[in-house]
Structure 1
Amino acid sequence: MSESQVALELVDIYKAYGKLEVLKGVSLTAKDGDVISILGSSGSGKSTLLRCINLLEQPAKGEIVIGGEELKLKPGKEGELEAVSRRQLEHMRSRIGFVFQNFNLWPHKTILNNITEAPINVLKQSKEQATARAEELLKKVGLYEKRHAYPGNLSGGQQQRIAIARALAMDPQVLLFDEPTSALDPELVNEVLSVMRELADEGRTMLIVTHEMRFAREVSSQVVFLHQGQIEEIGPPEQVFDNPTSQRVRDFMSSHLG
C-alpha cells in the first residue's frame, strides 16, 4: 500500500482576541483516512482551531495546507492573516466540509435545496446531477423521505444528519465537525454518531471536536488533547485514553470516563 497522502497540515497556528491568546502555535497533520478527535476542557481553543482551517476565524500566524496546496495568506489591517486570493480561498473552502454545532441550514429552503445549493453554484453541477447526488446522500443518512420538508419540521438529530449530507455533497477532502452532538437532546445523539461512524469506516478524513469520549475512542486514529491553546498530548486513542503522559490529561480522563 502506498504511503497515504497528507490531506491537511496546520503549521504553528496562533490566534488571539485582544490580549487573550486562544491558540499558541498548534501544528497538526491529517493524512487521508485519518480520524482525529480533538478533546479538551471548555475554552481550550478546540473550536477556534477548526474555524481557523477555512478562515472562519483568521489566525495571527501559521500555515494551512490542504491536499498539498498551501492557502496563501497575508497580514490584514488588524494584524490577522487573510487570504491573498478570494478565489483560492473559495476553492479551498469547497474542499473542506464543515458541520456546525447548530446545523446552519437555510430555514426557507427545502432539505433538497439545502443540499443542492452549493454543488450547483460552486461546483457548477447541473440541477439533475446535484439532485441525484443529494437524494443518494439522503438515503445514506436515512432521511430520503424528508427531502421536500423544511428544516423547521425536523428534529435536531435529523437536521444534523442533513447538515452532514450537505457537507458530503461537495465531495470534500476533509470533513470538520465542531461538537456536532452538543446541541442535541441525549436520545438523538446516537443517530448522528452512527452516521459519523459509517463515514469513518469508509475512510473519510475527519477532524472532530467532541465531548463524546466513547465515540472518540472507538473511531479515532489519533486523539489530540488541547489545553490553553496548546497540544498537551497527542497519540493513538489507546495511549491518550489509557496511558496519557500528562497528569492534566489523566485527570480529565478520570473525570470524564469515571
Structure 2
Amino acid sequence: MILLSFDIEEFDMPFEYGKSLPFDEQLAISTQGTVAILDLLKQAGIKATFYCTANYAKHKTDIIARIVDEGHELASHGYFHSEFIPEHLASSKRVLEEIADLPVKGYRMARMMPVDEREIYKAGYKYNSSINPTWLPGRYNNFSRPRKWFWQDGVLQIPSSVSPILRFPLFWLSFHNLPMFILTWLCDITHRKDGYLNLYFHPWEFTDLDKPEKYGFPGYVTRTTGEDFIERMRYFINWALERDYRFVRTGDFAADIIQKSRK
C-alpha cells in the first residue's frame, strides 16, 4: 500500500534562500498547487493525507472543505510553518478540527524537524510522521532511527520511506531528480521489503518554481516542477495502480496498527 501525503503550508521556502514573498502570494501559490493535486487525485480515484498548518487553513477554509468533502484525511502540520512552540501542537489540532468538523489524528513537524513525542501524546495525536530516517547534509542525521513504523512514548511513528539498502530517501526531491525507471525500481524494492510506502510532497512543487530571481532555488529544487511534475505524479500513480498497489490514508493505516496492537 502507498501512503501518499502532502504538506500544505504558507509558501515560505524562499525565505531559506534569502527571498521573501507577500503572505497573500504565499497562500496563492500553495492553493494553486493544492487544487492541482486534488484534481489529480480525483481523476485517479485515490485518497491521500493532507498535513496542513492552522495558519493556512484559517485563510483557506474552502480548500479544507474540498479536502474533507472528497474523502481525504486532514492532519496537522503545526500552527505556522516557520514558527513553533509546544502549545502549537494542541492549538493547531483544535483549529483544524473546528474548521473541518472532524477529529485530527496525525501530525507532521515542519521540515521534518525533531519534536518531543511526549508533547505529541499530550496534545492527543495518535500518530506522528515527522521522521525521515536517513542523512541529509545540513538538515538531519537519522540513521539510528528505525526505517519502518514503531512506537515511541505512546505515539505511533510512521517514518518517511527510504530504501532498504543505503537508506536512499524516497521523498519529494527524489521524485524531481531521479529518472522514473530508477525511482519506480527503488519504490518497488522498498514496498516489497516493508509492505508499504510513506511518501510526502508539497503543493508548491506542482507550480512553476523555475524563477531564480523570485525564489532563489537551486536547480535540484526547480527541476520538473509545475506541469512537468503533475505529469510525473500521474505516471507514478498509474504505475502503482497497474501493480495493484492500494493508496491508503495514513490515518487508516495507523488505525489498523493501533487496533491490532490492542488485541
User: What is the TM-score of this pair, normalised by structure 2?
Assistant: 0.33
**Structure with greater proportional strand content:** 1
User: What is the TM-score of this pair, normalised by structure 1?
Assistant: 0.33
| Higher alpha-carbon Rg | 1
**Structure with greater proportional helix content:** 2
